[in-house]
């Protein structure tokens, strides 16, 4: 198990605020992301990861699931930086059909990605790097973000370059 901090299961205030914003799917032209108001439980996360990978020896301790898309793909904080708080952990996505990828290097950058009108599904499944900016999510990011605003394209590319083996590492867990 990768330890983050004592607050490793406390839902970050920024994510709680994201859950209060209506994210417009706009009949497939918007963002397909349904944020949760709390993390999935440790048990739910372990059950999901075991089924997703087919590896029933795993536990879900490295992930904090906080949202989904309409097909059941899940967005999570990946607790890969030992001793660091949750908001400094990367955001990753696991699609319902086996897609997976790094979305942002930390929660703050993820807020800017949402503000730019992109969600985890659009980035990982469709390779999108440009969306339609969302004024409500921009205001939220301006309140909570600790990183400077940058285009989603730059945020995603930097995060994926920082964690280039994420997909291969997940493949190694699959049975």
pLDDT in tens, 100-115: 999 999 999 999 999 9
| Residue range 2-11: mean pLDDT, rounded | 64
On whether residue 8 sits in a domain, the answer given is no
Nearest by Cα to 163 from 75, 84, 83, 103: 103
State the CB neighbour count (10 A cutoff) for residue 175: 9
On whether residue 97 sits in a domain, the answer given is yes
The structure's pTM equals 0.94
Q: Is the pLDDT of residue 5 over 80?
A: no
> Structure tokens of 64?
């904090």
Percent of the chain with pLDDT over 90: 86
On whether residue 174 sits in a domain, the answer given is no
| Torsion sign (Cα): 84, 86, 87, 92 | positive
Identify the domain containing residue 150 by its residue range: 13-169
On whether residue 3 sits in a domain, the answer given is no
Helix (H, G, I), strand (E, B) or coil at 91: strand
* pLDDT given for residue 6 in this prediction: 46
On whether residue 109 sits in a domain, the answer given is yes
| Residue range 138-164: mean pLDDT, rounded | 97
Average pLDDT value over all residues in the chain: 93
CA 54, CA 170: separation in Å to the nearest integer? 11
On whether residue 175 sits in a domain, the answer given is no
pLDDT tens for 65-78 read: 999 999 999 999 99
122: phi then psi, degrees, rounded to nearest 5: -60, -35
Number of domains in the chain: 1
Is there a contact between 140 and 14 (Cβ–Cβ < 8 Å)?
yes
Q: What band does 165 get if pLDDT is binned at 50, 70 and 90?
A: very high
On whether residue 70 sits in a domain, the answer given is yes
DSSP β-bridge partners for residue 63: 78
Q: Is the pLDDT of residue 146 over 70?
A: yes
CA 89, CA 6: separation in Å to the nearest integer? 14
On whether residue 98 sits in a domain, the answer given is yes
Query: What is the C-alpha end-to-end distance of the chain, expressed in Å?
Result: 20
């Amino acid at each position: 198990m990768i330890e983050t901090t004592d607050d490793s299961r406390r839902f970050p205030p920024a994510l709680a605020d994201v859950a209060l914003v209506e994210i417009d799917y706009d009949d497939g032209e918007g963002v397909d992301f349904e944020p949760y108001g709390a993390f999935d439980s440790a048990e739910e996360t372990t059950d999901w990861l075991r089924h997703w990978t087919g590896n029933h020896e795993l536990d879900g301790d490295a992930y904090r699931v906080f949202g989904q898309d309409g097909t059941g793909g899940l967005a999570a904080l990946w607790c890969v930086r030992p001793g660091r708080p949750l908001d400094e952990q990367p955001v990753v996505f696991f699609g319902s059909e086996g897609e997976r990828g790094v979305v942002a290097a930390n929660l703050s950058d993820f807020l800017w990605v949402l503000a730019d009108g992109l969600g985890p599904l659009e980035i990982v499944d469709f390779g999108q790097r440009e969306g339609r900016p969302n004024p409500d999510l921009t205001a939220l990011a301006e309140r909570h973000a600790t990183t400077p605003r940058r285009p989603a394209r730059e945020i995603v590319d930097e995060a994926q370059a920082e964690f280039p083996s994420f997909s291969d590492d997940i493949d190694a867990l699959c049975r």
